[in-house]
Structure 1
Amino acid sequence: MAEAAFSEARKNNNLMARIQNVLPIACISSLVLGFALGGFLADLGEADWISSIVGFFDVVGTMWINAIRMTVIPLIVPLLIAAIAGSESSRSAGTIGVQTLVAFILLSVCYAGVAALSAKGMFSGLTLDQSVTDKLRASVHAAEVPTGDASVTTWFKNLIPINPIKAAADGTMLSLMIFAIAFGFASLAAPADARHQIVTACRTISSVMLVLVQGVLLVAPLGIFALTLVVGTKLGGAAFSALGYLISVQVGAAFIVSLGLIAIMVIWGNLASSKVFIGMINPTSVALGTSSSLSALPAMIETSRDTWRLPERVYGFVLPFAVSTFKPSTAYAWVFSTYFLSILYGISFGPMELAFAATYAALLNATVPGIPGGGMIAVAPLLLALGLPLEGLAILFAINPITDRTATAINVLSNLAVAAMLAAVQRQAFTEGSAV
């Protein structure tokens, strides 16, 4: 009986391993196929049967996103608490927090600085036909632009959750993370028995949730295909012909940044290049398919834990904290976007304006609201300060379904790179401490 059960479990593990090997290829194929089929349907027109197909896949894609979001809060809150409460001391947990903050500030400054220095060269080949410019300006009033209060004062006022349960229900992740971090540090001061029970309970919940997450990720190819098909039908070919240059700059910048992040993971993260490529496929596929770093968090955790074997105390803190706080890709995206709008509207944009845009983007990317089009809200004060018309938001929002996907992939890779680097730092510190 026991041997039969063991044999059955081994078969299940082998099957799961084979599925995991095929899953990355299936995700990438689904991404390409979804965009291609969506563009094909868009070219056919607006027949009722096409609307029915798009509506069906919209439901499928939304259901898959909801299934991922269902697991996020019960996964990351216990994981973050366990990572802090399970640390050797509050000093150890605080060190990881400071290192994470410094790492992301440096990344953002680097992204924004390079974008400011290269913007003029990147857009040197841009020539706008007058008719195209007129069409883009005419479309400003037709496009739907997100609205909301993105002021820094409002952001700080909402930082501390009045009711953590309500924050969880509303999905205000940063406020919830602050509560989880505070709870974790408070647990360090609790009696040893109580602290042990908290850590054990949180790790148990996280382990069970990871099993559920694996089940959701098994149907990722279907979810990604559905989402990209819907986006493809909405964009068609018009957006590419009018805004192709800006799209190519943003996508090209994301590709270059991704190469740099891969090099960081190999050199400073002490990871084999093969492991880096294998580990990044699932998280980036989810990011490209969903435009949501939050949705890619379970895949990031799975990569850090199972593929790269990073310490839980590192990835358990860095990844949830980073996903809910930092959007480093906006550091270069905002610089390129504002420079493009200055060309489009014929507004002078010299070194001082570029430097201001880079500083704003580097320091305030953490204020991006965690809602669709949130980056469009947060960049509004920058446009006003630079004398650019707010109507330009509509143009940025029109290409957001494409550029936001590559930007999200960069956010995901940035999170993984910081986790890998800090894990290497922790291992080195532990080795030096043991030698002493």
Structure 2
Amino acid sequence: MAQSRTAAVMSSLSLRVLVALVAGLAAGAAAQAWGIPGGTASVAAIDALGQLWLNALRMTIIPLVFALLVTGIASIADATSTGRLAVKALIVFAVLLVFATTYAFAASMGLHAIWPINIAEARALLAGVSPDQAAAVAEGAKSGGFGAFVAGLAPSNPIKAAADDAILAIVVFAIAFGFATTRLPGRLRQPIAIFFEAVAQAMIVIVQWVLWAAPVGVFALAMGVGLRAGIGAAGVLAHYIAIVSLAILGLILILYAVATVWGRIGLGRFAQGIAPAQVVAFSTQSSLASLPIMVERAVGRLGVSAATAGLVLPLAVAVFRITSPVANLAVVIYCAHLFGVQITLPVMVAGGLTAMAISVGTVGLPGQISFFASVAPIALAMGVPLELLPLLLAVEVIPDIFRTVGNVTADLTAARIVEGRDAVADPEAAAGI
């Protein structure tokens, strides 16, 4: 019941943010054509309001990511302690996650090569972002080289790294800290876990407060973009939706092949078996809400035992979200192309490692919260500006549908793979149906 209420609230917020985006772009385009009362002073005030809202979101990134990673590692350690089947499931999750991250770069960069961003529309859109900041970030991403990248993985001063937005170093430190806590005796480990769980929840509450003001913040940012870019910004946003959605759709198609080969199941049987779960995922945009139908389809149609489905699928919902690196990297790579940030090998390694780590920590968060908690750290790690993320949040409704469908498809794929040779060849025939 609480889950459905949360989904309804988030759906309402998504609609209001989308309306604010359209209204802001339209108002900005109208002001560009006919002028705005107050002139440059009004423009500066609008920009300041949008930047205030963006900064309010940015201030939660470091503590939220650190706390989520520590608690996420604790959940994985707890799962490992449950036995051999859980360990096998985690290995399958890890292999699929590494593959998905590698695929993300190939798919996103390939899609941009085939269907590049309209240069004129991109320049118009970037006119709404501070050129000095974009240039500075892009230049910073090109400096250093591989040696500097490796040396920077371990922060000599974690506090300074946090202040400098050195997110990959913070991720490495958080992972090391999280695994170190699992080696402590229970009386010491439990207070640490509770503390960081409380920190994460407090940061989520702050983000929820900020998101309640999202229509105002997005309207201000969109109006600033509309003032400089006109209505042409809408073309870039539509292109962005298509690129991210296509990247996720490609992964979903590959998962069918993975299930067929590695899960030893016929393509038609797998597709028919998971279709109802995908429908629920499409309509609810929630893997958790899709869990009951996933268990039913895994046992009744995919030949997975009740014991395996009862362990693997809830575990997958808790710690595994395969579309996270694919979609989040697609967002960051799109922004990198817009801002002219060069995607070098060190940049890809930094983004990939961050994306995989963040995908574990942010599982279970509401879509609007997880968008910033997932994408912003990757953008910081790859040296990509964050200024466009609020506008992209406003149109995240469509990609988020494909994210959920992809996650449910991957969860059922993993369950079939974990079952392995013990899978029932034809559950209906075995049951005498």
Which band: TM-score by shorter chain?
0.5 to 0.7
Q: Give CA-to-partner distance per residue, 1:186-225, whole Å, 9 cap, x none.
A: 2232223333333333323323333333222222222211
Q: Give CA-to-partner distance per residue, 1:13-43, whole Å, 9 cap, x none.
A: 9997764442221111111111111111112
Moved more, 170-179 or 185-194: 185-194
Counterpart of 1:22 (choices 6, 12, 29) is 12
Query: Runs of 5+ in structure 2 lacking a partner?
Result: 82-86, 257-270, 293-312, 352-377, 425-433
* Aligned AA (1:162): S
Corresponding residue for residue 161 of structure 2: 167
Contact 1:327 1:366 in 2 (8 A): no
User: 1:32-431, aligned counterparts within 5 Å?
Assistant: 32-45=22-35, 49-87=38-76, 88-89=79-80, 96-113=93-110, 115-116=112-113, 118=114, 145-146=135-136, 147-148=139-140, 150=142, 151-236=145-230, 252-254=242-244, 256-257=246-247, 260=250, 271-273=277-279, 275-276=281-282, 278-279=284-285, 322=325, 327-328=329-330, 364-367=347-350, 370=379, 374-375=383-384, 405=392, 423-424=411-412
* Aligned AA (1:24): S
Change (3 A) 1:265 1:19: farther
> Structure 2: how far apart are the matches of 1:14 and 1:273?
16
Change (3 A) 1:217 1:159: same
Change (3 A) 1:419 1:13: closer
Alpha-carbon deviation of 1:176? 0.8
The SS at the match of 1:86 is helix
Change (3 A) 1:326 1:218: closer
Q: Give CA-to-partner distance per residue, 1:92-116, whole Å, 9 cap, x none.
A: 7676555423211023223334555
Change (3 A) 1:307 1:417: closer
> Structure 2: how far apart are the matches of 1:193 and 1:275?
40
Q: Give CA-to-partner distance per residue, 1:56-115, whole Å, 9 cap, x none.
A: 332222222222223333322222111112223396767655542321102322333455
Instruction: State the Cα RMSD in Å.
Output: 5.4
Query: Runs of 5+ in structure 1 lacking a partner?
Result: 1-9, 280-302, 339-356, 377-399
Length, aligned pairs only:
339
> Structure 2: how far apart are the matches of 1:433 and 1:198?
41
Contact 1:74 1:205 in 2 (8 A): yes
Change (3 A) 1:413 1:261: farther
Contact 1:38 1:231 in 2 (8 A): yes
- Please give the TM-score of this superposition, normalised by the length of structure 2: 0.58
Contact 1:112 1:335 in 2 (8 A): no
> Structure 1: how far apart are the matches of 2:53 and 2:166?
20
> Structure 1: how far apart are the matches of 2:289 and 2:399?
21
Contact 2:71 2:193 in 1 (8 A): yes
The SS at the match of 2:43 is helix
Change (3 A) 1:367 1:196: closer
- Please give the TM-score of this superposition, normalised by the length of structure 1: 0.57
Q: Does 1:31 align with 2:37?
A: no
> Structure 2: how far apart are the matches of 1:265 and 1:94?
16
Identity rate, percent: 25
Contact 1:71 1:213 in 2 (8 A): yes
* Aligned AA (1:148): G
